[in-house]
Every structure is written in C-alpha cells, then in structure tokens.
Structure 1
Amino acid sequence: MTQVKASQDRRVGNGTIMAMCFVFVGGMIGMAYAAVPLYQLFCQVTGYNGTTQRAEQYSDVILDQTLPVTFDANTSNGLNWDFKAAKRIEPKIGETVQVTFTATNRSSEPTTGTAVFNVTPMEAGAYFNKVECFCFTETTLQPGESLEMPVVFFVDPEITKAEETKNIKTITLSYTFYPSQPSKPVAAVQEKGKPVNGQL
C-alpha cells in the first residue's frame, strides 16, 4: 500500500512539474513577443538609442538659435533601391521644417521596403520631434518608380537646457530601408461556384 501511495505521489509530483514547465515556457514565449513592442515604446518615451519622438502639433517656441541637421540614407542587402537623403539644413531650434528623401526601385520587379531610423548623437533623440515621417510604413515601388517621401520635424527648445545635450552642435537623422513582404489586403475571395455576400 505504501509503495502504491508513493507511486501516486510521484505521478502527482511529476504532473505538477510538467504543468509548471509548460506555464514557464508559455510565459517566456509571451514575453518574447511582447519584448519588441515594449522596447519600442520605451525608446519612444525616453529617446533611448536615438529614437525620436512623435508630435501631434508644431512647437510654439522658436529660439533665435540654429542647430544644423544632416541626413543619411541607407538600404540593406536584398533591396535594390537608390535611396537618397535630404540636403543638410540649419533650422532654428523649435522651427518646424520639412525635408524630402527620394527612393527609386532599380530592380525589374515591384519591391517593398520598410524604413527604420535613428538619431545621433543618441542623447538628441528625446528632443527630435517628428510630426510626419515614412518610418515603419511599407513602401512598394514598381520597376523604375521613384517616390519622394517627406519628413516634418522640429527640435525641442529644451535641448538647450539639458546638461547632456546643451553642447550638441549637429544632429544626424538616419534612415535605413529593409526589404519586406507586402501585406495582403483583407478582402472577400469568391470561390468558384459559391456566392459571396449572398451574390453569385
């Protein structure tokens, strides 16, 4: 009887351990999926790693002081695009300005890319406010097609007060396009001989 009870206890113990392992693995997978959006949110809030801020409105304070901004454009392997940066400008701090990047598809077929960005020096990211940009948006270009992509931004005047940024002389906004698969639109697909929405 004692041996039977011990065997049952072992089975219960093993089952509990297995259940705990499944819960742990499931939790780790969930955390892995959440890590990217959470890290992106953290960067957007803090400006960490040169992540710029998103602004819904223009700055209402413009200083009588300029801060040169340069631009950099790159494409990763696998995307045969000619990607050109905007020209260097010297806006006043707090002034809202627009610049234009240009991308051209040099391949013989339609290709899709998605751009990511960063700002250097990284400390300036928290003060670089983008009102409009093309980052994280799928862009599809036909063979030989060119597209102008605007970026609207301003540099927060608070950049002149923070100890780590008050001596910054130049900011560089850099974009890199990576190849991506275009998202398929959600649409009703009519099967042969079957009605869609009650119609043949």
Structure 2
Amino acid sequence: MIKINEELNFPVDDTLFVFALDSEAGKVFNDKNKLITGIGKVNAAMELSKEIHSRKPKLIVNLGSAGSKGFSKGDVVCCTKFVQRDMDVRGLGFELYETPLSGVPVVLEYGLKMENIKEGICGSGDSFEMNHSETVYNIVDMEAYPLALIAMKENIPFLCLKYISDDAGSDAADDWAVQVHLASEAFKKILFS
C-alpha cells in the first residue's frame, strides 16, 4: 500500500509511477507499474495520456529529480502546486505563467500532501533552469505541471515527490549528473518502508 496519510491509502498494483528518466527510477521500480516518459512537457503529457487509457490507474505518482535554491540537495519534497514556468503571453494581456483561455489558474493546485514531507511549488518548463531567481515557485523540473494537469482533468489522485538534485544554480548540471542516481533509494524509503 502507498500510504498518503492516516485516511488515504492506495494499492501498489493500482498505482502508476511516472518518471522522466530510467536513471531516476533505478532498479527500485522495476517490478512496479512504471512509466518512463522522456524529458519535457510534451513527452510527459503524451506518454501519461496513453498510459492512463490503457492501465486506468487509481493513483498517479510522479517521482523525479528537481532543482531548488530553497531546499537542500538530497531532500525529498512533496509538490502540491504547479506552475508552467515557460508560459509567457503577457504581450497579449495575460498574466505571466497563465495559459490563455484555459480556465486553469497560474498556480495549479492539484497534488496530494504526504505526511511528514516538506511541501513545495514546482515550476515546470522545457528548459534546464540555472540561476533560478523566481519567487512564485521554489522547485524547478521539466515534467510535473502537465502530469498534474492531466491527472486533474482525468480525476485521478496525484502525488508528486521530487528529489532535490541541484540548487538550480550555475553548477546545476554537474550536481544533477551526480545526484540523480540517488533519487530512487530516497523514494523507496518514503513509499515502501
């Protein structure tokens, strides 16, 4: 069982574990319902949509690496809010990060809160962010926003845990390459212990 809190549990067999890269999953998830989407918002959206319709999961769990200046390397953070950080249509009178005419707020609130895990706001975009200075979100990744949006539209509970692999600063790429392999063991301790 995946225990979210005292009242909410989901069978592992009915859970879909979603990663961008196999290196984030390690060997821990080889015997689970695992989906590797590839990097970026389009790949994530396309692969999750296909998988939902074939497997019909009762819970979607997005696990992966992320950068943050507000959390420390090695922290696991539960993201319950999401921002599409590369959406900028201010030139047409829309708010920064607002998807025009979608009815979706700038900060999408759709994620389960897991007890005893720090909470964060994830900014997803199709760029590897270095020199992070934004204040609307405190974690950066490349896939969580569309995964959360699809889960919301499909009315499937969504849990998003991010392993902080780098500080989204000038050394982010080097730090990520070293840290990404540690993510799966951190997720295992939280989800299966």
Report if TM-score (shorter chain) is over 0.5: no
- In terms of Rg, which structure is larger? 1
- TM-score in terms of structure 1 length: 0.25
- TM-score in terms of structure 2 length: 0.26
Instruction: Work out which structure has the larger RCO, using CA pairs closer than 8 Å and 6 or more positions apart in sequence.
Output: 2
